Each structure stands twice: as C-alpha cells, then as structure tokens.
Structure 1
Amino acid sequence: MSSYKTEEQKANPVKFFIAGGFGGMCNVLVGYPLDTIKVRLQTMPVPAPGQPAKYKGVIDCMVKTMRHEGIRGFFRGISAPLVGVTPIYAVDFAVYAAGKRLFQTDEHVRLTYPQIFTAGAIAGVCSALVTVPSDRIKVLLQTQPVTGGQLMYNGMTDAVVKLYREGGMKSLFRGTCACILRDSPTGFYFVAYEGLQDFARQRSKTGQISTTSTILAGGIAGIVFWTLAVPFDVLKSRLQSAPEGTYKHGIRSVFRDLMATEGPSALYRGILPVLIRAFPATAAVFFGVEFANDLLNA
C-alpha cells in the first residue's frame, strides 16, 4: 500500500475527493455504535437531586440501549452520516490535497510539518461547514426518546422536513461555529498521520509503508485529534440536541450553562467512548483513503 503523501508528484485534489469519500464511509461503518453512546452520554440531562443519572457510564449506556432498543438502537440515525459522509470527507481530503499542492512548487517538493498543519487546518474548517446539517440530524436521531413506541423523527428525511418547518435553514445549520471549533485541530490530525508514516517509511527496508503502519498511524492520529476536540464536541452536541430557543447565544450560552450547572469536567463527558472509537474509526478512514488511492493510481 502506497502512502498518499506523495513526494514524487503533486497531490491530486480530484483523486483525494474520491478517496476521502470512500474513507469516510469506512469511518461511519466502523465507529457509529460508539458514536451513538458518546452522544447519549454527552447530552443526557442533569438528574434531579437524589435521582440517579440516566446512564452511569459507557457500559450502562450500552446495556440500556441494547435492552430497550436492540442492535438497531446503536445505529439509529446512521443514514444521515452515511449520506453526508461522502461530501464531508471528500471535501476534507480534497481541500487538504489542494492546500498541499499550493506548497508544492515542483514534483519533488517535500512538505514541512508546518505546511502540512496549515493545509490540514484549512481542510478542517471547510469540511466543518459541510458537516453541520448531517451532524445536527444525527445527534437528534441518536438522542430522541422512545416513548410508547413513538419517535419524534421517523428517520433522516422526516427530521430534515420538520427542522426546516421549525426554523428553516438556520435550524438545519445550528451549531456551525461549534462544528468549526470542533474540527479546528484537524491540522494536528494530518501532522500526526504524516509524521508516523514518515517514521515507518524510514524504518522500512523498501522505503514503502505497510497496511499495518497505515492502521497504526491513522488510529493514533484519531486519538490525537479527539483528545483536543472533545470539549468542543460536547458543546456542539448539547447545542444541536437542545429544543429551539434553549440557547439564545449559541455555543457561548451552552458553555456558560455547562460551567454553572456541571463544571469543567462535563466538557470531557463521553471521552472514553470517543477515544475507544477514535482508533478503529480513524484507522478505517486512512485505510480507505490509501486503498482507494491505490485503485485510482493503478
């Protein structure tokens, strides 16, 4: 498997667009059940005095989800990210490739890590703008209560229609600033991956990277990214799952309310499933990207 960090030819945004979309689909299929657990832990209400929390932790959330909703409960709302994931990851990797290309003045330029970071940061902001509606719908479908067998939203299309009727495009794009903040560490994500692949390439007798190094580098890059992104992700999930009009000043209101009622530790609620999910899900992204690039370059 060849590295998509090409030192012998300029990065091709079109190929990265296709490869990124495929990698994103791999990410969703591998990581979605833990993403559901993460969102439910992040958005569960503060219990009344003397009452137990809705979920005691990751295991309790998994057990209750299985007991009340079965396997389907872990995949509730997956249609939204599956439909949205192609443009999200496609844009992310295409913009990243375009950013790298700006620094590649000829076919043999080796990018520095600050240049990789810059290209990755720009890619993160651009992909965040595409992510917002999909994330909004996903969070609502993951967190909606099941009462008497009735759901507020009967799938992705029904959620889109009801949100639009409720507040127009503004409702669908609630959490835009929060998404941009959440995806802002993307520069570190690409630097970690590229750095680890460089290390693997230097230690390889052939100078090529292996599938194993791709999985390890991708998984570690995911952990680096999510360790930095979790606080913003908590704020985003709270904002996107709240009823209309709950937070008048967006993410600022969410932050003030969270600090006043639950304290700083709440910013890291759900971090365990996030980090457990980060390794396999992000490894799947980069494996998918590398695999698709190999096919496109064949």
Structure 2
Amino acid sequence: MHIVINDNLKVKMQKHNTEAHGLRYRNALHCTSRILKTEGGEVQNSSPQLRVIIPSAAYGGAIISFVLCPSELVKCRMQVQGTDSLVPKSSRCSSPLDCALKTIKTEGVKGIFRGGFTTLLRESIGNAIFFSTYEYVRYYMHLQLNAASSVHSNLIDAGIGIMSGGLSGVAFWSVVLPFDVAKTVIQTAPERSSSRNPFRILSSIYRSGGLKGCYTGLSPTLVRAFPANAAAIVTWEFAAKILGIKRD
C-alpha cells in the first residue's frame, strides 16, 4: 500500500511540477494534502462499523507487537535488574543495547522475542477495544455537541479528542492489563525454561492473589493512559484536519 501511495505522489509531483502552467506542489506533504482534498479522504458521517473496526484494529495490533516485544523485553529487564538483589552487578546490563546483545548471546534470536505471543494478544485485543471505544465516543459526542450548538470550533474538537482518546486508553488497559502482567513475568523470568503460556501464568497469579493480582499496577497505568492517549488522539485529529481529511 505504501509503495502505491509513494508512487502516486512521485508521479503527480513529476507531472505538475515540470509543466509550464501546471499545479505546483511545494513538497510531498502539500501534495498529499491536495490529493486527500480532491481525490479522497472524505468519509460519510455514519455510525461506527464494528465489523470493520475490530478486525482492522486487531490486525494492526498484531503487526505492531513484533516491534513492541523486543523493545519491551529490554525495557522490563533493565527496570527489574536495579531492584533484583539476586542479580550480581557483574552480570547487569549497562545499556539497552547491552541488554539486547546479552539476551541474543545467551538465548538466541528467539530470546529477544520472548513473550511475543502474549504481546500479540495484548495488542490485538487491546487495539480492537481502543478503536471501538474511540469511534463510538467520538461519534456520539459529535452528535450531542452538534445538536446543542451550531458552532464547530477547534476547542470543541480538542475536547472531543481528549475524551475519546483518554477513555479509549482507559478501556484498552482495563481489559488487557492481565496480559501485560503475564508478559512482564514471562520476559523477566530468570530461567529460560519458565512457562511462556500467559493463561497458565495468570491462573497461577489468580490462585495466589485473586483478581487483584492479575491487575497489579492498574492505578499508575490508568493515570498515565488517559492523558497520554488523549494527547495522541488530539494530535491525530488536528493533523487529519490540516491534511484535509474530512471525517464528519
């Protein structure tokens, strides 16, 4: 897909920027904006379609999990080693790169993807929850605000972005935090033979600590989730507006 888009930009810029009286594009971003305005990007104001949102969001989450898994493994091991008294200073990692290299050296390339299945479950399920919540909250807030006021301002858009993004982030972590707990256990386990089955690990945690144990770290996660995702969605909404993507 990205190859087709890039080729479309290339051809249009080559044609119009070389003609004597053609439409000139300042850069690729300007060209992208004009394409979206004139050839596509306008979406009818219909209610969210879960049959489209859920599979596309889950697929995107599954793909990104292959990038997140190694980076989060390194992050978790770096964070844990500072509080684990059983890890001698001589074997501690001095940097994220050092941690990644030591993991590959001792566990092989598969080691850097330890917890990959659990990450995939977290991201695919979580993204389906996130984008379903986002689309519905955004849709119904627009309906209410547009009915109450004829003024459509950037302030209203920002408010909708804050609420839809923040609530979507809270919904994401409220559902998939147990998978994140299991992932952390899998990635930081000292024994290579430790179980990598998230359901077995969560079952063990539940037997010893109940549901509360499966949701360890919920409070700081939600405190971070609302503002972080609100900021991300507001940025996305205004970027879409600048590029001329009409969603209403």
Amino acid at match of 2:61: G
Alignment correspondent of 1:92: 130
Distance 1:39 1:154 in 2: 16
> What number of residue pairs does the alignment pair up?
198
In structure 1, the gaps of 5 or more residues are 202-206, 209-298
Question: What SS class does the counterpart of residue 87 from structure 1 fall into?
Answer: helix
Alignment correspondent of 1:35: 72
Q: Does 1:167 align with 2:167?
A: no
Aligned with residue 26 of structure 1, among 63, 70, 73: 63
The percentage of counterpart residues that share the same residue type is: 20
Closer, same or farther: CA 116–181 of 1 in aligned 2, 3 Å: same
Structure 1 residue 52, shift from structure 2 partner: 4.9
Q: State the Cα deviation string for residues 240-259 of structure 1 (Å, max 9, x = none).
A: xxxxxxxxxxxxxxxxxxxx
Distance 1:73 1:9 in 2: 47
Question: What SS class does the counterpart of residue 207 from structure 2 fall into?
Answer: helix
Q: Does 1:156 align with 2:156?
A: no
TM-score normalised by structure 1 residue count: 0.58
Closer, same or farther: CA 6–139 of 1 in aligned 2, 3 Å: farther
Q: Does 1:137 align with 2:173?
A: no
Alignment correspondent of 1:79: 117
Closer, same or farther: CA 198–53 of 1 in aligned 2, 3 Å: farther
Q: Does 1:55 align with 2:98?
A: no
Amino acid at match of 1:10: S
Q: State the Cα deviation string for residues 17-42 of structure 1 (Å, max 9, x = none).
A: 33222221122123221121112112
Alignment correspondent of 2:48: 12
Distance 1:6 1:36 in 2: 40
Alignment correspondent of 1:282: none
Distance 1:53 1:13 in 2: 52
Closer, same or farther: CA 200–179 of 1 in aligned 2, 3 Å: same
Deviates more, 1:25-34 or 1:56-65: 25-34
Amino acid at match of 1:8: Q
Amino acid at match of 1:9: N
- Please show how residues 227-246 of structure 1 align to structure 2 within 5 Å: none
Q: Which has the higher contact order (CA 8 A, sep 6+)?
A: 1
Distance 1:92 1:74 in 2: 27
Distance 2:230 2:196 in 1: 37
Structure 1 residue 58, shift from structure 2 partner: 1.2
User: Which runs of structure 1 show a deviation greater than 6 angstroms over 4 or more consecutive aligned residues?
Assistant: none
Distance 1:21 1:150 in 2: 30
TM-score normalised by structure 2 residue count: 0.69
Amino acid at match of 1:142: Q
Amino acid at match of 1:73: G
**Mapped contact 1:128–1:180 kept (Cα < 8 A):** yes
Structure 1 residue 82, shift from structure 2 partner: 1.7
**Mapped contact 1:131–1:179 kept (Cα < 8 A):** no
Larger radius of gyration: 2
- Please show how residues 147-296 of structure 1 align to structure 2 within 5 Å: 150-151=193-194, 153-184=195-226, 185-201=228-244
**Mapped contact 2:62–2:121 kept (Cα < 8 A):** no
Distance 1:6 1:136 in 2: 40
Structure 1 residue 193, shift from structure 2 partner: 1.8
**Mapped contact 1:11–1:100 kept (Cα < 8 A):** no
Structure 1 residue 6, shift from structure 2 partner: 6.3
Q: Does 1:116 align with 2:149?
A: no
